[in-house]
Amino acid sequence: MDTNGKLYVVATPIGNQDDITLRAIHVLGTVDLIAAEDTRHTGKLLARHNIKSKLVSYHEYNEKERAPELIQKLRDGASLALVSNAGTPAVSDPGYRLVNAAIENGITVVPIPGVSAAVTALSAAGLPTDAFIFIGFPQKKKGKRSEQLKRLARESATLVFYESPRRILLFMEEVIENMGDRYAVLGREMTKFHEEFLRGKLSEILNALQERDAIKGECTLLIKGCEEEDKAEEISPEAMRHEIEQELETAGISELSKKLAKKYGLSRKSVYEEILKVKKN
């Protein structure tokens, strides 16, 4: 007989507090314990629905230590709900370690579906949704971020990123540099009173944001996938240097950097720097 409790993965609103399901309210009100990313934030949601279940913190800074404690409670028969500050837990939020540990310990994991910022943005974007790639927040370090964007530049699926309002301008500049000026949709303050969707070329959205005194609200950026005819060829560093050596016999540096950047889907700046290295040697 299975005496383990159950782990409920419960989606909560991303903005509008009415965007919570009846099932989620029922589960949150009947479990023994709720593991929350921010207990104060979740406490307000529970108070709105007169839910008295006990809260415990579970976030990215304590999940390694807290997960074993929660697993033991589940093994002892307690029922547990996992929630994040907004949206679906374990989707670009803390939670996957706890879910994985529960599975490894034979504990039943029950998803309680609801709002997700990625799907919310996709539904209103008007971009192809037959195939999309959810990346979440981009790499933190610039070098790794550039590598990530270059890899994704060849994907034909719609790309979905999350980014903070204080980093969105820099990130969009890097996207243009590594992917080109593609059509995109930016969702901001979704489901809230000041909900906004900006549509157009990346440069157009960037210019519109740069004209503002401040940008508020987490941003969801959706970028149209690479068209088949625009897919660049791949080339090794050695082959690139060899081609540069040959082309320099008849072409100027500026002209060549533009040509090779377009051909291989690279930034013109990086190609220009590589040409200078080859020319110097």
Same domain? For 31 and 108 the reply is yes
Tens digits of residue pLDDT in 132-187: 999 999 999 999 999 999 999 989 999 999 999 999 999 999 999 999 899 999 99
3-state SS assignment for residue 163: strand
Whole-angstrom distance, CA of residue 93 vs CA of residue 106: 23
Whole-angstrom distance, CA of residue 86 vs CA of residue 106: 27
Tell me how many domains the chain contains: 3
Same domain? For 213 and 248 the reply is no
Q: Are 54 and 34 in contact (CB under 8 A)?
A: yes
Same domain? For 109 and 67 the reply is yes
Domain boundary among 59, 87, 115: 115
User: Tokens 């060849």 belong to which residue?
Assistant: 154
Q: Is the pLDDT of residue 48 over 70?
A: yes
Same domain? For 69 and 101 the reply is yes
Structural domain boundaries, residue 183: 131-228
24-28, 193-197, 256-260: which range is least confident on average?
A: 256-260
Same domain? For 179 and 103 the reply is no
Model confidence band, residue 1 (pLDDT cutoffs 50, 70, 90): very low
Same domain? For 33 and 92 the reply is yes
Whole-angstrom distance, CA of residue 186 vs CA of residue 212: 15
Paired with 150 in beta bridges are none
> 3-state DSSP: the chain helix, strand, coil percent, rounded to 5?
45, 20, 40
Q: What's the predicted TM-score (pTM) here?
A: 0.79
Q: Is the pLDDT of residue 64 over 60?
A: yes
Tens digits of residue pLDDT in 82-108: 999 999 998 887 799 999 999 999 999
Model confidence band, residue 201 (pLDDT cutoffs 50, 70, 90): very high
Q: Is the pLDDT of residue 229 over 60?
A: no
What is the chain's length?
281
3-state SS assignment for residue 33: strand
| Token pair in block for residue 214 | 């401040």
Q: Where residue 15 sits, what CATH number does that domain have?
A: 3.40.1010.10
Same domain? For 167 and 261 the reply is no
